[in-house]
Amino acid sequence: MSHWDATYKQYPTKLVPTTKDTHNIPVIFPDWFVTHDKGDRVRFTQFGNEAVWNVDPNGPWVYLQTNLEIPQETLEATLPYFDQLVDLNICTGLATYNRKSVAWHRPTQTWKYRNNRTVHFNQTPTEGTNSTLNSEEEEASETSSNESSKKSDPDTDTAQVEDLLRQAETTVTSAIQKLSSQAGTPEPTNSPLPKASLLLGKSKLSTTEVSQTATPPVSKGKAPVPPPT
């Protein structure tokens, strides 16, 4: 039985944690409880296999067996990638990475952005118990996540549909204008009949020819001479 297990059984009375208790328990502690001891409200937590305790929310955490204080740097170093984080708060689990807010996610034991996406750091963690993907797997995972997000983005889908509609409208308008232009200027057809100008010329020529045919003259004022008997 570990020292933590023995301590947990040593204090059967567990108090209901207050908001103040919850906000002052570091996220690195997997299990904890609150009880009364010698008239004080004491918080016991598990740190590895050891039991540590704290009375003052603003005070240090102390090993129960040795009564030695745990340095703040030791608590921070328990979190993976602690050396790449800025403004790390071990109680709230909040920090900054590459000027973006991140938070420690207890269920998965990973760092996540505000949009719930996993943080991919530049190198393997200096400390911590998490096993992480290698850099190539992380980049592939992040690329796949971004592509999936783009495909499922309704704004992107709407923009693509609107673009297709504009292209279709332009194509239809161009086709209508082309058809209207062709209908206004009909193309000549190869008719088997002769042209009207040729027929008209032939008709005038025939009339001239008829008018130019010699006709016998008609004598005016005299009766025709009867033939001899």
pLDDT, one tens digit per residue, over 9-24 is: 999 999 999 998 988 9
Is residue 1 pLDDT above 60, yes or no?
yes
Average pLDDT over residues 92-111: 94
Q: Which residue has the higher pLDDT, 50 or 161?
A: 50
Q: Is residue 121 part of a domain?
A: yes
What is the tally of structural domains in the chain? 2
User: In this structure, is residue 110 part of a structural domain?
Assistant: yes
DSSP secondary structure of 11-40: ----BPPPHHHHHTS-TT-S-EEEEEETTE
Domain boundary among 70, 89, 109: 70
**Is pLDDT above 50 for 92?**
yes
Name the pairing type of β-strands 86-89 and 62-63: unpaired
Average pLDDT over residues 101-113: 94
pLDDT over threshold 50, residue 120? yes
- Predicted TM-score of the model (pTM): 0.52
The answer to the question of residue 201 being in a domain is: no
Half-sphere exposure of 103 (CA within 13 A, CB side): 10
Q: Which two tokens stand for residue 24?
A: 């002052």
Burial, 91: exposed, middle or buried (Cβ in 10 Å; 0-12, 13-18, 19+)?
middle
44: Cβ contacts below 8 Å, ≥ 6 apart? 7, 8, 11, 32, 33, 34, 35, 51, 52, 53, 64
CA–chain centroid gap for 175, Å, is 35
User: What pLDDT is stored for residue 197 in this prediction?
Assistant: 41
In a domain, 23, yes or no: yes
- Separation CA 37–CA 42 (nearest Å): 6
**In this structure, is residue 26 part of a structural domain?**
yes
Average pLDDT value over all residues in the chain: 73
The pLDDT value recorded for residue 58 is 82
Domain boundary among 108, 128, 144: 144
φ, ψ of residue 110 in degrees (nearest 5): -140, 165
- Percentage of the chain beyond pLDDT 70 is 54
Domain extent at residue 108: 76-144
**pLDDT (average), residues 149-178:** 59
Run of H or E residues at 209:
helix 196-211
Q: Is the pLDDT of residue 109 over 50?
A: yes
Q: Which percentage of the chain shows pLDDT scores above 90?
A: 45
Do 84 and 121 sit in the same domain of this protein?
Answer: yes
Contacts of 91 (CB under 8 A, 6+ apart): 23, 24, 25, 26, 27
pLDDT at 64: 95
pLDDT at 114 over 60: yes
Residue 181 lies in a domain: no
pLDDT at position 227 over 80? no
Picking from 70, 85, 101, the residue at the C-terminal end of a domain is 70
Please give the Cα distance from 105 to 107 (Å, whole number): 6
Query: Do both 60 and 101 map to the same domain?
Result: no
One domain, residues 65 and 122? no
